Structure 1
Amino acid sequence: MSTPTASGHRRDRTDGIYCEWTRTFRAPISDVWAAVTDPQRLARWLGTWTGDPSSGEVKFQMLFEDEMPAERFRIDECDAPYRLRVTTSMPYDGENPEHWQLRLDLTEEGGITTLTFAQNVPDPTMAENVGPGWDYYLDRLVAAEDDRDPATVSFDDYYPALSEHYREEFGRES
């Protein structure tokens, strides 16, 4: 793989500050939707979920992070195959969970599907970790969808190499 490029950008929205990434795929929107929502397809590049989405939440388990506990994902909005809004609850300290909003938007034009993924960044200092992490995972998604082995994408190529981009992107005044 070539040297990765930081691709996330700050987006100030009415509900907070987000980091936003875009990836394109030569695939129908329904196929890309499955890649980001179907537990078996998701497991190839990120993690998997269990539970009943119609209940409004699922348990999500990262597969490529050491000793990460399962997270509760509340489904705030789902308009398949175009839009998914999720709020995560990560009880890393056992008592006070962190809550992050994730936004997935998909569009298709001429056989090309664009995925726009965003995560809120309530503390600008977290961007230097979150940014390289999502560049890494989204590049794993691209590899999986291109029938390449996602394991060839190495986190060591992303972090800390891409951190400076995110420090600069989120250090500026809006």
Structure 2
Amino acid sequence: MKDILEHLSTIQREARWNADTVTASVLLRRTYQAEIEDVWDALTDPDRIKRWFSPVTGELKAGGTFQIQDNAGGDIVECEAPKRFKVTFGGPTSLVEVRLTPGPGETTEFELEHAMTEPPAPGTGGALYVGPGWDGAVVSLGLYLAGEIGEDSDPVEMANSPEVIKLNEKSVYTWIEVVRASGDVTEEELRATAEISLAQFAPDSKLDLS
């Protein structure tokens, strides 16, 4: 199996801030070695979602609702199979949109955008609250599509493994650099938000921005 940490380098990331609408957003892109119908099915079939992400219940169609076990729930605002869906995530001011397009050969171009109005941190700093979590999901989906996560796997157990905690730590530092490059937060603001992010995603790690 490819070193799980190497999978982080397959993701392209952006953090954006819109001062007019007071909205922070993150955008993640990755190419999957799978056809679009397979990727869509892995993202929307409850029996498959629970193998790589977490159990999800609800009426999984446009106008329906969903609930992730021990996590956020929301409304399914739009759904256009097998190309895109948009949902609220934990509240009406938090929107997640997933977009799929066929790539060359049997590949799929994946995009996930999470926009938060009035986020809990200044500017693009809000990315540190959600970006590392989405990194983990994007990596896990890739492992599942590649057949490296078995049908009897337990995502909760996997999430608490030392390998995934290390991945989370590296992800936080990756997002720190993305936010820093945006230039719209001070180093003091960045440090404060990064400490919260690291405590959430890798609790035993100590922040080092030297």
| TM superposition score normalised by structure 2 | 0.64
Displacement, 1:12? 6.1
Displacement, 1:99? 3.7
Residue 127 of structure 1 corresponds to which residue in structure 2? 127
Aligned Cα root-mean-square deviation (Å): 2.8
Match among 90, 93, 101 for residue 95 of structure 2: 101
The verdict on how the C-alpha distance between 1:11 and 1:164 changes in structure 2, with shifts beyond 3 A counting, is closer
Displacement, 1:21? 0.8
Could you tell me how far apart the structure 2 residues matched to 1:86 and 1:169 are?
28
Amino acid across the alignment from 1:114: E
Higher Cα Rg, which structure: 2
Give the SS at the match of 1:142.
helix
Cα shift readout 1:79-134 (whole Å, capped 9, x = no counterpart): 00001011123xxxxxxx57410011101133211111111144333212311221
| Percentage of matched positions with identical amino acids | 25
Superposition map of 1:55-134 within 5 A: 56-62=63-69, 68-69=70-71, 71-89=72-90, 97=91, 99-109=93-103, 110-122=105-117, 123=119, 124-134=124-134
The verdict on how the C-alpha distance between 1:128 and 1:55 changes in structure 2, with shifts beyond 3 A counting, is closer
The answer on 1:156 being equivalent to 2:166 is yes
Is the 1:128–1:166 contact (alpha carbons within 8 Å) kept by the matching residues of 2? Answer: no
Residue 23 of structure 1 corresponds to which residue in structure 2? 30
Displacement, 1:41? 1.2
Could you tell me how far apart the structure 2 residues matched to 1:118 and 1:24 are?
15
Displacement, 1:60? 1.9
Residue 139 of structure 1 corresponds to which residue in structure 2? 139
Could you tell me how far apart the structure 2 residues matched to 1:137 and 1:147 are?
15
The verdict on how the C-alpha distance between 1:12 and 1:80 changes in structure 2, with shifts beyond 3 A counting, is farther
Cα shift readout 1:18-38 (whole Å, capped 9, x = no counterpart): 211112122221110011111
Amino acid across the alignment from 1:137: A
Cα shift readout 1:119-171 (whole Å, capped 9, x = no counterpart): 11443332123112211111011011111137375133223433422431454
Give the SS at the match of 1:111.
coil
Q: Structure 2: which 5+ residue stretches go unaligned?
A: 150-154, 186-210
Displacement, 1:52? 1.9
Match among 8, 11, 18 for residue 13 of structure 2: 8
Richer in strand (by share): 1
Could you tell me how far apart the structure 2 residues matched to 1:55 and 1:112 are?
26
